[in-house]
Amino acid sequence: MQISTFFLILVFFAIIDLRAQNYPSNPEPGACYIRCTNEEISEKNQA
């Protein structure tokens, strides 16, 4: 009983994690997609 409960919880979190990835809904076949963050650059602080 404990193993099946643990397995169900694990599957539940795996599904949530996969849905949170925001993959393209219509990806091109053979194309690769990555997510990266860009640091915001502010020019007004530069002298």
Domain ranges of the chain: 1-35
Give the tens place of pLDDT for each residue, 9-45. Answer: 988 888 777 666 667 778 889 988 887 778 887 777 5
Residue position matching structure tokens 């397995």? 7
Distances (CA, A) of 19 to 13, 24, 32, 33, 36: 10, 11, 18, 16, 18
pTM: 0.38
SS3 8: helix
